Amino acid sequence: MKDKLRDFIFNELVFVSDPDRFGDDEDLLDAGLDSMGIMRLTMFIESRFQVTLPDEEIEPENLRSLNALEQWVLRHQS
């Protein structure tokens, strides 16, 4: 799951010079993930992983890093 998230984020939403060296706990918001990117990321996650992510949970703690995103998705998978 984390590899798919990483690929989507760094191919579609955020530019970093070497995505493979971007750590799983590094801050995606500081790297450039913005509000439009968050919307696109949420739609990608819901479609790709067949989950519904509640709007009220779209907050920095759930989006801050690849590890946080993965945990957020896992909490909503049935």
* Domains with residue ranges and CATH for the chain: 2-12+23-76 (1.10.1200.10)
Residue 25 C-alpha from the chain's centroid: 12
Phi, psi of 60, deg, nearest 5: -55, -35
For residue range 3-56, what is the model confidence (pLDDT) as tens digits?
999 999 999 999 988 988 999 999 999 999 999 999 999 999 999 999 999 999
Percentages helix, strand, coil for the chain (3-state, rounded to 5) are 65, 0, 35
pTM here is: 0.91
In the block, residue with structure tokens 């579609």? 12
Give the pLDDT confidence score for residue 20 in this predicted structure: 86
78 has pLDDT over 80: no
2 has pLDDT over 90: yes
Which candidate, 22, 30, 31, places its Cα nearest to that of 2? Answer: 22
CB atoms within 10 A of CB 9: 23
